[in-house]
C-alpha cells in the first residue's frame, strides 16, 4: 500500500486481465462491478487501481466505468495512471 492512502479506506484491483477478444466490454464491466460490490460490502470508501499511463484505451475503459483519474506516478522507468472509484457513487 502506498503511504499516501490511509489504511482501511480502499480496496485495490491488481492485475485485472481479460483475453483480448473480450476486452473493454461485458466481461471487464462484470469484473469491475463485482469489485465494487465486494468493496461496498466491506464498508470501504474507494476502489483503486493503477494502469500503464501510456495505454489510453485501457485508461478509457476505467474512465468509462466511472473511475476518476487520481494522479500519475513514476514507478521505476514507467508512469502509471492512478484511478479511484468513490464507492459513494454506487449507493
Answer for the pair 70, 83: CB distance below 8 angstroms, yes or no: yes
pLDDT in tens, 29-48: 999 999 999 999 999 999 99
- Domain harbouring 30, CATH code: 3.40.630.30
Could you list the residue range(s) of the whole structural domain that residue 70 is in?
10-90
pLDDT in tens, 78-88: 999 999 999 98
Q: What is the reported pTM?
A: 0.87
pLDDT(10) > 70: yes
Phi, psi of 76 (to 5 degrees): 60, -130
Answer for the pair 18, 27: CB distance below 8 angstroms, yes or no: yes
Report the percentage of the chain scoring pLDDT > 70.
Answer: 93
On whether residue 5 sits in a domain, the answer given is no
On whether residue 1 sits in a domain, the answer given is no
pLDDT in tens, 47-69: 999 999 999 999 999 999 999 99
Considering its fold, how many domains does the chain have in total? 1
On whether residue 67 sits in a domain, the answer given is yes
> What would the DSSP string read from start to end of 12-52?
EE------GGGTTSHHHHHHHHHHHHHHHHTT-SEEEEEEE
Amino acid at each position: 500500500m502506498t503511504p499516501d492512502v490511509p489504511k482501511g479506506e480502499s480496496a485495490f484491483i491488481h492485475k485485472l486481465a481479460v483475453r483480448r477478444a473480450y476486452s473493454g466490454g461485458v466481461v471487464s464491466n462484470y469484473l469491475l462491478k463485482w469489485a465494487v460490490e465486494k468493496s461496498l460490502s466491506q464498508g470501504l470508501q474507494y476502489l483503486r487501481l493503477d494502469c500503464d499511463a501510456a495505454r489510453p484505451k485501457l485508461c478509457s475503459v476505467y474512465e468509462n466505468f466511472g473511475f476518476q483519474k487520481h494522479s500519475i506516478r513514476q514507478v521505476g522507468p514507467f508512469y502509471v495512471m492512478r484511478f479511484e472509484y468513490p464507492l459513494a457513487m454506487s449507493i
